[in-house]
């Protein structure tokens, strides 16, 4: 009887250990990060072409020399000016998004998210910069094709300001023969009352995405709350980083000058402007789960106070 009881006890201990090991293996399988072998078999592998969205319609930019190729362990990013290769160290999944980390410290990463799976459209984002839309090459016939770039070598902006009219003219091109891909421009500001002109030579950091002048990226607003109109012009299309702007602040004499102390100089566009509180607010996602909120408050002595906070993104 004692031997039989011991056998039951031994069998009980054996099956408890076996079940515990199985539970650990199940948990490991459930929470294990996808390996590079998984990436080779997933839906993101392939060649992706740049597209734009207009209202609810998508279209392929036939004149934009930009694409991305993803394979088992490398992301190849092609732009008109340069090619970049990024090794995929490991991946993580957060909701519908997959994060491709290029280093073990997870300082740099790409976020891919389905926008329209049936049409093969994804959102492709580097770090916390603005996302870009791409379509799988095999699905290109599911959307319309058209030229994305403006066909202008100059543009006039006459009605956006009460006091001034602006003329933007291309000065130099990376392809002078065909006059494509401008590398600099002249901004001519004319006072409507006295016809006084100011000529500004504008040299962007990069306009690699533009075949012609990005005239629709010229923004007029009062950015420093002094009641005078200022303007911002796209300074770098940024690729994955999103568009960055150079700001020109109007002084009391009516001249427009780039001010280094302006907190968003060569940064994102100031869109959330509160004239009553004299604040500018920007928001940008950080990684998979957080969002940075930065507020810039203009002080009476001409300085800016910056406050930042981070909040969780509600999935």
Give the start-to-end residue ranges of the domains of the chain.
36-146, 154-270, 271-315
pLDDT band, very low/low/confident/very high, at 5 (cuts 50, 70, 90): very low
What is the average pLDDT across 54-73?
Answer: 84
Q: Is the pLDDT of residue 3 over 70?
A: no
pLDDT band, very low/low/confident/very high, at 288 (cuts 50, 70, 90): low
pLDDT band, very low/low/confident/very high, at 134 (cuts 50, 70, 90): very high
Domain 36-146: which topology? Lipocalin (2.40.128)
Alpha-carbon distance 206 to 214, whole Å? Answer: 12
pLDDT recorded at residue 48: 93
Highest-confidence segment of 34-38, 59-63, 199-203: 199-203
| Higher pLDDT pick, 218 / 142 | 218
- The DSSP code for 206 is B
Question: Do 51 and 133 touch, CB atoms closer than 8 A?
Answer: yes
* Among the ranges given (34-43, 124-133, 140-149, 164-173), the one the predictor scored with the smallest mean pLDDT: 34-43
Reference 221, options 206, 236, 213, 232; nearest CA is 232
Q: Is the pLDDT of residue 138 over 60?
A: yes
pTM over 0.85: no
pLDDT recorded at residue 108: 87
Alpha-carbon distance 257 to 247, whole Å? Answer: 8
Q: Is the pLDDT of residue 15 over 60?
A: no
pLDDT recorded at residue 198: 97
Please give the radius of gyration of the chain, using alpha carbons only, rounded to the nearest integer.
27
Note the pLDDT tens digit of each residue in 143-202: 988 876 555 688 999 999 989 999 999 999 887 777 888 999 999 999 999 999 999 999
pLDDT band, very low/low/confident/very high, at 315 (cuts 50, 70, 90): low
Alpha-carbon distance 89 to 73, whole Å? Answer: 7
Question: Can you tell me whether residue 241 is helix, strand or coil?
Answer: helix
pLDDT band, very low/low/confident/very high, at 223 (cuts 50, 70, 90): very high
Q: Is the pLDDT of residue 280 over 90?
A: yes
What is the average pLDDT across 236-262?
Answer: 88
Which structure tokens are listed for 237? 């299309």
pLDDT recorded at residue 209: 75
Highest-confidence segment of 125-134, 146-155, 299-308: 299-308
Task: Please name every residue paired with 250 in a beta bridge, in sequence order, or none if there are none.
Answer: 256
Question: Can you tell me whether residue 74 is helix, strand or coil?
Answer: strand
What is the average pLDDT across 30-51?
Answer: 63
Q: Is the pLDDT of residue 298 over 70?
A: yes
Q: Is the pLDDT of residue 4 over 60?
A: no
Alpha helices in the chain (DSSP H): 2-31, 36-41
pLDDT recorded at residue 56: 84
**Residues near 7 by Cβ (< 8 Å), separated by ≥ 6?**
none
């Amino acid at each position: 009887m004692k031997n039989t009881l011991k056998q039951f006890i031994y069998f009980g201990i054996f099956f408890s250990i076996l079940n515990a090991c199985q539970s650990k293996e199940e948990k490991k399988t459930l929470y294990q990060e996808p390996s590079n072998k998984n990436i080779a078999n997933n839906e993101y592998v392939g060649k992706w072409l740049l597209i734009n969205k207009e209202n609810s319609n998508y279209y392929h930019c036939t004149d934009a020399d930009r694409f991305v190729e993803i394979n088992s362990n490398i992301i190849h990013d092609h732009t008109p000016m340069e090619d970049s290769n990024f090794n995929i160290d490991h991946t993580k999944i957060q909701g519908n998004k997959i994060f491709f980390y290029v280093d073990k410290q997870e300082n740099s990463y790409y976020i891919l998210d389905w926008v329209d799976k049936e049409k093969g459209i994804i959102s492709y984002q580097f770090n916390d910069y603005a996302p870009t839309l791409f379509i799988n090459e095999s699905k290109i016939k599911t959307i319309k094709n058209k030229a994305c770039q403006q066909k202008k070598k100059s543009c006039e902006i006459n009605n956006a300001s009460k006091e001034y009219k602006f003329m933007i003219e291309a000065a130099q091109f990376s392809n002078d023969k065909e006059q494509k891909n401008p590398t600099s421009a002249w901004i001519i500001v004319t006072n409507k009352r006295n016809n006084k002109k100011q000529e500004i030579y504008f040299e962007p950091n990069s306009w690699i995405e533009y075949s012609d002048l990005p005239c629709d990226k010229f923004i007029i607003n009062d950015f420093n709350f002094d009641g005078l109109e200022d303007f911002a012009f796209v300074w770098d299309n940024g690729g994955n980083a999103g568009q960055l702007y150079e700001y020109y602040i109007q002084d009391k004499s009516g001249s427009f000058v780039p001010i280094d102390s302006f907190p968003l100089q060569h940064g994102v566009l100031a869109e959330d402007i509160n004239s009553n509180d004299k604040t500018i607010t920007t928001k940008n996602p950080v990684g998979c789960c957080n969002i940075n909120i930065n507020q810039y408050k203009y002080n009476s002595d001409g300085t800016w106070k910056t406050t930042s906070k981070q909040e969780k993104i509600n999935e």
